[in-house]
Structure 1
């Protein structure tokens, strides 16, 4: 068991290491949204994912004797709909749509707020969310690569030695800790006070750990369908944490908005 846990930890930490170790001098003080930084990090992460896709099945197969065939590991990755543990293309496809719907239920408050108050900028928002470099990073590249590493890679490593419930308990904290490095950027690169940085890191640790719990459940409940976890991740990154800024500008709408948030949360719990 210990070799599997150590390997899973190494896989999880590799994502942070890829963007934090051996940074070119010219990029060390640059903002994370600098195009050069984004391209550098995306290139490193892409190489990491290819490396893990090739080497992890071999390590699990020949080094740890956890699987009989390399294709069994690929199934655990859940990259190809229909070629998952579930093994049904139709069900895999329906599950992706199902979890998109469930996430829309959870976010019914922010979605309603957007439709009634900000929908006039939908084309502009779509452009900046999916077609510019920062949007591609946040809403396409990061969800796909993070889910491959933290869901497909780590869970495929742990499944031979841990039950699903044990994975659910242990893994979310690891995913949350992997985001703590953002505090370094806030404190050293952006110059925020230590108190603000610690508060931000603490909130992000809790938020990402909760998301990790959700993504693990989705991934495991769907027979290791990676695209379900990716869809959930995209929606969470896109809509983020609910905003309450309309409390002073639209007090009546704020009451409806909060009601929708509570309703969405309740229905989400029921549907999940």
Structure 2
């Protein structure tokens, strides 16, 4: 086992967690703001005549976000309290650890599937889920650079920078619940840059603003959920897999739902309601920090 993943006995126990050390608010918020700017700026450093979906553009963006992922941990190490760095290994602070790993992979993913119960039932009844049992689909997907961008590189880079590197800093200045509502603001506003992309494609300003505001809203809401998962589980893998799944599912197709026969439509609407209510009820239960041996980030 790699030493960087080993637990530090000074953390205490899951039943008696130690409070996180404190750093000034201006330090944590300032670092997160800088990281947000660096992440967005990295997407525009390349001078290219192609659009964002062109393979050459996508490959360059991969290089950019990988460099940002290498830079971001230095902010955590440099500006975190020495007490925190002594209490846990640096890998553990970033949510990279073995304890509770299997549950962090499975439970949040299943919980998110419950949230999407309605859309999943819609896909099940129109048999579109069968495609995922086809090995050719997966082979083709991993050969598709846009699929890799949307389901691998975007989730892994965004969650690492905006969760694994920002949350440890914010959590040293605010309570866990407050931190959950702060970091997503950086994540949501980081998506505003898409306004420029839409305008460059000839979209009207009013339309671009409406779409971007809508995107800001749902990325911020998702950010709340993702930050909550990181703080509760203490694992980077939980928000990463959930992010990839949500990118795959996209927003629910209400139009397809409304095209169903009345009886089937009612049943599917009930699935939407049951999934959402079940998710709300199970969220605090399925993310109990003790399940994941997380005694570092959530102490109440």
Of the three residues 114, 131, 150, the one matched with 1:105 is: 114
Question: Which residue number corresponds to residue 233 of structure 1?
Answer: 243
Of the three residues 242, 245, 255, the one matched with 1:245 is: 255
Q: Distance in 2 between matches of 1:51 and 1:195?
A: 36
Question: Which residue number corresponds to residue 75 of structure 2?
Answer: 56
Mapping for residues 1-272 of structure 1, pairs under 5 Å? 1=24, 2-20=26-44, 22-24=45-47, 27=48, 29-53=49-73, 55-60=74-79, 65=82, 67-69=84-86, 72-79=89-96, 81-82=97-98, 89=99, 91-117=100-126, 118-122=128-132, 123=134, 126-127=138-139, 129-188=141-200, 190-222=201-233, 224-247=234-257, 249-252=259-262, 253-272=264-283
Alignment deviations for residues 98-157 of structure 1 (CA, whole Å, 9 cap, x no partner): 111111111111112212212344336545654410000101111111100000111122
Give 1 or 2: higher helix fraction: 1
Distance 1:126 1:244, change over 3 A: farther
Q: TM-score under structure 2 normalisation?
A: 0.78
Q: Which runs of 5+ in 2 are unaligned?
A: 1-23, 284-300
Q: Which runs of 5+ in 1 are unaligned?
A: 83-88
Q: Distance in 2 between matches of 1:77 and 1:249?
A: 45
| 8 A Cα contact 2:122 2:268, kept in partner | yes
Between Structure 1 and Structure 2, how many residues are aligned? Answer: 255
Runs of 4+ in 1 over 6 A off after TM superposition: none
| 8 A Cα contact 1:66 1:160, kept in partner | no
Q: Distance in 2 between matches of 1:109 and 1:126?
A: 24
Q: Distance in 2 between matches of 1:68 and 1:248?
A: 53
